Amino acid sequence: MKRRYHLKKREVKRIKEGLADYSGLIPEKAIIEFLEVEPYPLVLVDGEPLVMLVNKRPFPTLKGALKTSIKSNRVVVDMGAVKFLVKGADVMSPGIVDADPRIEKGDLVIVVDEKYKKPITIGISLIDGPSMVRNRKGKAIKNIHYIGDKIWNLEV
């Protein structure tokens, strides 16, 4: 951990605007802190790492995704892919069952399993949403945060 400090109201407002559909992760009366860590800076909401900043873009962490309903940028994978994803593997197109059609190349996405719809990983899309479902080979999402990694196990 390099630095930890409380965020000013205007910074919190900017992050909430960037979260769009997920702005509910930051309630009005919460204590909001910025945590400068590798690989991505985090925003702590009442001491929990619920938001990460990837290339200065705010997006829910897996713990944040578990606390809200996943409304956009969602990709569904079959149960056979889960065991690989929880070890940090990238998401391959053959394992994708469904994807938000609004996803564009370079978007941050939340990957959920087909059976329970629980978040497994956060990644950066390498192709658009419709192509993820259509393609039968190749990588579709670069995995940047998964269950059991440094962000998941972070203790503050």
| pLDDT attached to residue 6 | 96
Separation of alpha carbons 92 and 7, rounded Å: 37
Tens-digit pLDDT profile for residues 17-62: 999 999 999 999 999 999 999 889 999 999 999 999 999 999 999 9
| pLDDT attached to residue 153 | 92
Separation of alpha carbons 125 and 74, rounded Å: 11
Residue 61 token pair: 């962490």
CATH 1.10.3720.10 is held by the domain 3-66: no
| pLDDT attached to residue 2 | 83
What global pTM score does this model have? 0.94
Q: 118-127: buried (b, 16+ CB within 10 Å) or exposed (e) per residue?
A: ebbbbbbbbb
Q: Which residues in the chain show pLDDT less than 50?
A: none
| pLDDT attached to residue 59 | 97
CATH for the stretch 74-146: 2.30.130.10
Domain ranges of the chain: 3-66, 74-146
The yes-or-no answer to whether 3-66 and 74-146 have a common fold is: no
| pLDDT attached to residue 155 | 84
